[in-house]
Structure 1
Amino acid sequence: MTLQLLPFPAADYAAWRTAQVERRRRWQFGPLWADAAAAAAQARTAVAELAPEDGLTGTYLLRVLGDHGEAGWLWLSRQDQDLLLLDADTDAPADELLTLLETHARSADARQLVLDRMVAAPATAALAAADGFAVVSQTMALDLTAEPSHAAPGVTLRPMTQRSFEAYLAAAIDEYAREIRRVDALRWDDALDRSRADYDELLPQGLATPGQVLLDVVETATGADVGALWLGLRPPSAAFVYDVWLTPPARGRGLGRAAMLAGAGWCRQRGVDVLGLSVFGHNVVARGLYESLGFGVVTEALRRPVVPAPPVTGPR
């Protein structure tokens, strides 16, 4: 099949936008928010940011044309040195679509092709399975309405004090900066600035920030503080794990699993139906832990270097 990319018909934009909101509601926000109305509101907000009613903002749509006519569409964005695929709906063969995307990326001088995909969306599944893609991050969800684990957690949770919050914040900002630096290859000062900015945005009032629950993790056997669990509440029936953090001496002893089990129990007791979280792709230990606890991947970002075109050489 010979594929081409053409401008998306303006007359079809409104219908595409309506369908995109529904795709996001069903495959991205539904699994993370549990409540249908809340998921729909989040989907409308997300689509409105990059695809408002009066036209696209910072992104662009392309129609995929095959040998026998229209073969679907691609929603793309150029971010820094990456070509980002936000979504796609096409029946084109994955290998030919990948070749087409790489050609488009080279023409845009992009160094990497990034799939920012909903895992339930069929068109990007085969692309994600292609060689050369590395997982950058994953967002996962756990259904708390299912039968809970009855394993003894080994830890208890208690509200943070201002003193324990300040100690946690200093350590967490530093560790998060190291993760940012590893993923995005930033200078240390830039990574630290971004880490501080993210914490300031999410915790503008510190420990008293509405909707944020910060808990000390206490080892049951010893009574020692061994870490922290930070949950963001998403009314009416969801929560999100922003961080599960352990002191260095407490690591490697199963206390991270215990803290997650305790956090899930804390949420169940308060009527929370789904617990979400995000994890860096290189953190295979954490990903394995969350999968073993029953978390399933909802969205993920994957990255693949764009191979430069071979040099054109003339006849000798």
Structure 2
Amino acid sequence: MPLTLVEMGPDDFVRRRAQLVASYAEAITTARALTRAEAEAEAERDVAGRLPRGPATRGQLLRKALADGAEVGWIWLSLPGPALPDTAWISDVEVDPPFRSRGYAGAIITAVEAELVARRVPAIGLNVFGDNTTARRLYERLGFEVTAEQRSRPLAEVPAAEGIDLVPMTDYESRIEALFADYAQDLVQERGLWHGEAEARAARKLAELLPDGPQTDGMILRTVVARGVPVGWVWAGLPAPPRPGMGWLHNIEIDGPYRRRGYGRAAVTAVESELARRGVRTMGLNVHGVNTGARRLYDRLGYRLLAQQMAKHLAAR
């Protein structure tokens, strides 16, 4: 008998909920540099906020997976919404221990893809944590492609940044305007938003992250200078929610004429040094999946994978 998905009932959700929270807490302990207690509290808040009515929560699909009459696992799927208007999101998929290594995880995802095609949803995405290599290989076999990665490395030993200095920014307005214009364009291309909504969302994001511009508390904005010449800029942040134990490199950009000279690598090292001087023990960053050059650079610099976002286009069948 092939695997089938059936709606999860309230009792099923109650039975599954504690393990869902525990698994999520375990995953984000490392990914967000949280203590175990912080991770457990965050996991509980997230599940309660996103599933306030359990399987009856609007926009959320919770399905049990049945094979030969036995319940072998389950999946939680978030339907497209304001944040991702054309993409459904696999929030969790689990195969119960007695049934693992039998191909059920792939079968569950394939079955939910068929349901999404019937609903005319054009794409599906997911998050996979960096240490879950088995899941990452599965998603690759199923046709998912990397859209973004989060990486980090400890700052216990930071070499000196050779040949560059970080100085206070003198061109903040033009740099930030260009950055958030690019962000709005990404929202149009990757998430299917119309231009007005994309620009409004980019403006809200800017106001949220930099309410006081370059003087925003906890933010570090610097011009990268090499031999007295400005060659780019960096934007980093001190630890703050949702990653209270980790500094974050929000953006690094070396201007076109100065690329391929090692300035990007040196700038990352300079940011690491500044964070380390401030007592920060770990730095994280985000890199787009298509930016293979940056991914190779961060590999060389010792940044390990924390989490990976993947997506797949769903062709009509």
Question: TM-score, normalising length from structure 1?
Answer: 0.83
Equivalent in the alignment of 1:157 = 166
Deviation at 1:53, TM superposition (A): 7.3
Residue 224 (structure 2) pairs with residue 217 (structure 1):
yes
Identity of aligned residues (%): 28
Computed over aligned residues only, the root mean square deviation of the Cα atoms, in angstroms, reads 2.7
- Partner deviation per Cα, 1:259-299 (whole Å, 9 max, x = no partner): 11111222222222221111221122112212221222222
Equivalent in the alignment of 2:27 = 27
Distance 1:131-1:76 versus aligned 2 partners, 3 A rule? closer
Deviation at 1:12, TM superposition (A): 4.0
Equivalent in the alignment of 2:239 = 234
Equivalent in the alignment of 2:307 = 299
Unaligned runs of 5+ in 2: none
| Letter aligned with residue 50 of structure 2 | L
Q: How does 1:122-271 map to 2 (within 5 A)?
A: 124-145=135-156, 148-150=157-159, 152-160=161-169, 163-184=170-191, 190-219=197-226, 222-235=227-240, 237-271=245-279
Distance 1:226-1:208 versus aligned 2 partners, 3 A rule? same
Distance 1:69-1:132 versus aligned 2 partners, 3 A rule? same
Equivalent in the alignment of 1:109 = 120
Total equivalences in the alignment = 303
Distance 1:157-1:233 versus aligned 2 partners, 3 A rule? same
Q: How does 1:31-110 map to 2 (within 5 A)?
A: 31-52=31-52, 56=57, 58-67=59-68, 69-79=70-80, 80-90=85-95, 91=100, 93=103, 94-110=105-121
Distance 1:122-1:155 versus aligned 2 partners, 3 A rule? closer
| Letter aligned with residue 158 of structure 1 | V
Q: Distance in 2 between matches of 1:86 and 1:247?
A: 38
Q: Please give the secondary structure, in 2, of the residue aligned with 1:129.
A: helix
CA contact 1:77–1:86 (8 Å) conserved in 2: yes
Q: Distance in 1 between matches of 2:29 and 2:40?
A: 8
Q: Distance in 1 between matches of 2:131 and 2:210?
A: 32
